[in-house]
Chain A
Amino acid sequence: MPTAVAEDDALWAAVADPTRRRVLDALLEHGEATTTTLAEGLPVTRQAVAKHLVVLDRVGLVAGRRSGREVRYAIRPERLDDASEAMARVAAQWDRRLARIKRLAESVQAKADSEHPTRRTQ
C-alpha cells in the first residue's frame, strides 16, 4: 500500500522540523490561533510561521478557519493521533525484536547449560 507509506513519509517530514513542533505545541496550548498570535510567541517571523502552517495543513495536522480578515488555525487531533500511532508502531517493532532476542539468547543459554551444567552461577 504505497499510499500509506507516502502519507507516513509526509507526516514524519512535517513533524521533523523543530519550529513546526513548536507551532504545534503553541496550537495545543492556545486551542486556536492566528499566524500573528503564533509568531508573537515564537522566535521566527510571521512569514515563517505562515509557511510552516502551510506544511502542517498539507499533511492534515492543522486546519485553518476563516474568521473575518483572519485565518484561525487549530490542531486536528485525529491526525496527531496518527503521529502518535506511528511512534507506537516503532515501539511495537522493538517489542517484537526484543522477543526474538530473548528466544535466541535463551536457546543459546539452554544449550550451554546442558553442555556445561556446572558453569552457570546464579
Chain B
Amino acid sequence: MPATTVEREILIEAAPEVVWSVITEPEQISQWFSDDADIEGRPGADGSLTWKPGGRGGEKDVDLVVPIRVVDAEPFRRFSFRWNHPDGASPDESNSALVEFSLIEEAGGTRLKVVESGIDLVTDGETSRARYIEEHGHGWGKHFGELRDYVASKPGGATH
C-alpha cells in the first residue's frame, strides 16, 4: 500500500534561530508556503493559510483558505501543526494531516526535517485541490520568480 507518511530533509546554511523564524513567522510563511498566513507560532494557536487568485494558487475565482492549528512549538527545535481539517472542526488524527518540523544544529548550519503523516485521511475536496493547484498552478517558475524578487528586495539580501 502507498505510504501514509512523507519524510524529507534539507541542510540549511543558517542558524536554527533563523530557520525557526522562517518556518514560524506569518510574514515568512507567506514567502514559502501559502500566499497569506494567519498563524502564531505557539501551541494551540488556530489560524489559516490562504492561496489567492493570481498568487501561488493560480487561476481561481475565490481565495482558497485551509485551516491550520499549531500543535507543538519548542523554539529552535520543534514545530508542528495540523492542517486540512474541516473548517470549524477541531483537528485530530481522524480528520487532518500532521506536519512536524525538527531543527538539528550541525556544523555549518541546521538540518531541517519535515514529516507529514495522516495524508491518506485527508479526503475533502479542498485538500486535493490545494495540492493540485500548488503542483500545477503556475508552476515552479513563478514561485522561483517571486522568491528571487523577495530576496533581492531585502536590504543587503544575498542573491546567491
Identify the A interface with B (CB < 8 A).
1, 4-5, 8-9, 12-13, 15-16, 21, 24-25, 28, 80, 83-84, 86-87, 89-112, 114-115, 120, 122
Q: Which residue of A1, A4, A103, A111 is within 8 Å of B155 (Cβ)?
A: A111
Q: With contacts A15-B1, A90-B131, A104-B31 known, is A99 near B158, CB below 8 A? A: no
Considering the chains assembled together, what is the distance between the CA atoms of A91 and B131 in angstroms? 11
Are B140 and A87 in contact, CB atoms less than 8 angstroms apart? no
Q: With contacts A16-B123, A94-B116, A104-B31 known, is A87 near B14, CB below 8 A? A: no
Q: A101-B19, A109-B18 are in contact. List 6 more A-B contacts (CB 8 A).
A: A4-B132, A93-B134, A98-B114, A100-B147, A104-B32, A107-B159
Contact with A along B1-19 (1 / 0, CB 8 A): 1111010111011110011
Identify the B interface with A (CB < 8 A).
1-4, 6, 8-10, 12-15, 18-19, 21-23, 28, 31-33, 107-110, 112, 114, 116, 119-125, 127-129, 131-132, 134-136, 140, 143, 147, 150-151, 154-160
Q: Would you list 8 pairs from A and B whose C-beta atoms are within 8 A, ordered by A residue?
A: A28-B1, A94-B114, A100-B32, A103-B147, A104-B28, A104-B151, A106-B14, A111-B155
- Grouping DSSP codes into helix (H, G, I), strand (E, B) and loop, the B interface class, with mixed when no group exceeds half, is mixed
Are A115 and B112 in contact, CB atoms less than 8 angstroms apart? no
Chain A residues contacting B156 (CB-CB under 8 Å) are 111, 114-115
Considering the chains assembled together, what is the distance between the CA atoms of A109 and B105 in angstroms? 14
Chain B residues contacting A15 (CB-CB under 8 Å) are 1-2, 120
Considering the chains assembled together, what is the distance between the CA atoms of A101 and B116 in angstroms? 16
Are A111 and B10 in contact, CB atoms less than 8 angstroms apart? no
Chain A residues contacting B158 (CB-CB under 8 Å) are 106-107, 110-111
Are B155 and A101 in contact, CB atoms less than 8 angstroms apart? no
Are B14 and A12 in contact, CB atoms less than 8 angstroms apart? no
